[in-house]
Amino acid sequence: MSTISVNIIPVTPFQQNCALIWDSETMVGSVIDPGGDVPKILEAITKAGVKVESIYLTHGHMDHVGGAAELAAALYNKPVIGPSMRDDFLLESLPEQGKNFGLHLKPLVPETWLREGDVVSIAGRDFSVLHCPGHTPGHVVFINKDINFGILGDVLFRNSIGRTDFPYGSHEDLIKAITTKLMVLPDEFQFICGHGQASSIGAERRSNPFLQ
């Protein structure tokens, strides 16, 4: 089986990890969480020679979705998929979110909302969708157990976890999602975070202070 390639593209002043993921043989792939700086994302797509089929969103925060509509249009209306419908209020409030940073954003309605148990195709492989609320009510993650790889957004970071100090956040829900859905994965399972360096389940099991 061909391998998958990953290019992390830090975007916006929040240095959010937009991910370009593709099959190294077919060169078909997806973009996850295009938060902004769309010309930078398009340049990375062109440089890699990837044919993007879809755009996936882990949750509704501006720094993860702010460039989704613009990118979809630039890629000839590729579908925007996710997150869970529980984040619809965040996507509707994008104009307000952007206004605080001098950005003119429009409300976003994805082509498809995601739910726990859905399966999506990323780089020609099936990724399971897990609903992991707490950072936002509708946060989802994408995992593939066959290749021990996942995209976790702002749920779990290297030595940290997602913020829950929002009116709609829940530390209890976040810890429950991490412990029951992510920490049951094997130590060698590697993942991309929404910000900062990638990590593995084993590394977080050993050293993440929020999980001890």
Distance between CA 176 and CA 209 in Å, rounded? 15
> Which pLDDT tens digit goes with each residue over 187-196?
999 999 999 9
pLDDT in the model for residue 133: 98
Q: If pLDDT is split at 50, 70 and 90, which confidence band does 1 have?
A: low
174 has pLDDT over 80 = yes
Give the start-end residues of each E strand in 51-110.
51-56, 80-81
Q: Please say whether the beta carbons of 211 and 178 come within 8 A.
A: yes
Q: If pLDDT is split at 50, 70 and 90, which confidence band does 10 have?
A: very high
Confidence (pTM): 0.97
pLDDT in the model for residue 129: 98
Instruction: Give me the residue spans of the domains in the chain.
Output: 4-211
Whether omega for the bond prior to residue 83 falls within 30 degrees of 0, making it cis, is: yes
pLDDT in the model for residue 101: 86
Lowest-pLDDT choice from 83-92, 99-108, 132-141, 155-164? 99-108
For residue 43, the number of C-alpha atoms closer than 13 Å in the C-beta half-sphere is 8
3-state secondary structure of 38: helix
164-192 burial: b if 16+ Cβ within 10 Å, else e: beeeebbeebbbebbeebbbebeeebbbb
CATH architecture, domain defined by 4-211: 4-Layer Sandwich (3.60)
Contacts 24+ apart (CB under 8 A), 39-47: 40/9, 40/11, 41/9, 41/11, 41/67, 41/71, 42/71, 42/74, 44/7, 44/9, 44/20, 45/20, 45/75
Q: What's the distance, CA 52 to chain centroid?
A: 16
Q: Which of 108, 100, 159, 162 is nearest to 137 (CA)?
A: 162
2 has pLDDT over 80 = no
> Which pLDDT tens digit goes with each residue over 70-104?
999 999 999 999 999 999 999 999 999 999 888 88
Q: How many helices (H) and strands (E) does the chain have?
A: 7, 13
Distance between CA 135 and CA 74 in Å, rounded? 30
3-state secondary structure of 85: helix
118 has pLDDT over 90 = yes
pLDDT in the model for residue 103: 87
3-state secondary structure of 25: coil
